[in-house]
Chain A
């Protein structure tokens, strides 16, 4: 295993934050590798997978619905089932929900307005693979830019997810009409996370905030641990 764990970034037609994600992952110690959506295998020695932001397949049908059936997603499903860490950012979060790897769905923002600004999010559960470099209640400044980011689940599911600690990030204020101000969730096993804010745009203080680096660095740690576990 090389010192830098390989993190696969899946590129769909219409992805537009794939290179930013790769750059940011490199900045926090990963070896990013772009993977085309038609590939049905991940690169050997993949330690983690990122589904990046963008507008895959032009948001046809529902955001993320078409991408959730891409050949690369078969490989991502197998990887996630084997315990591999998977992070979906923005459109990647939408894809993971449509693929039913994460609970809930992302709906049009309540005010139908495309929100594009820095958002403050609060860590709701630091005891997860992705948030362990943070403390519970810690506030992070991370940009959001989306038109369909209002997370929704039915009441029973929402209560259950909150009780299990699967809601890991909440906006400090109402940003888009998300149920419970949810900004990010994990699956029950804790190895798949999705969030609407863009940690890859917040890894350098020169650009306003480096808070996203906390999440990405923890994710890269998880990639290295996964490679050790399967070695």
Chain B
């Protein structure tokens, strides 16, 4: 099973990296009003079915991949 995890700075959390990227994009002439920088993790895992895979990846997110204080996560599953 393959899972893609999208980790984003939570709503309302200051993202200085996103602001810096936004500033650079504006310098290039793009009319960009907001950029947020997160990260993508592609995870290959062994699981019995989609439900179990999702439960496992959720636990991965809570325990390590995201910091729930400042980051939200979204899981996309893809059967092989």
Contacts and interface: CB of A to CB of B under 8 A. Distances in A.
A91 to B, nearest CB: 16
A168 B60 CA distance: 33
A110 B64 contact: no
A104 B64 contact: no
Interface string A176-192: 01000000000000000
A105 B13 CA distance: 12
B69 interface: yes
B70 A152 contact: yes
Interface in B3-39: 13-14, 16-17, 20
B67 interface: yes
B65 interface: yes
A104 B17 contact: no
A105 B69 contact: yes
Contacts, number: 30
B64 A69 contact: yes
Given A61-B64, A65-B64, A69-B64, A112 B17 contact: yes
Given A105-B70, A152-B70, A110 B65 contact: no
Nearest to A112: B16
Interface residues of A, number: 17
B17 A108 contact: yes
Contacts of A69: 64
A111 B70 CA distance: 18
Given A108-B16, A177-B14, A62 B67 contact: yes
Interface of B: 13-14, 16-17, 20, 64-65, 67, 69-70
16 contacts: A61-B65, A69-B64, A105-B67, A105-B69, A105-B70, A107-B14, A108-B17, A110-B16, A111-B16, A112-B16, A112-B20, A152-B69, A152-B70, A154-B69, A177-B14, A177-B16
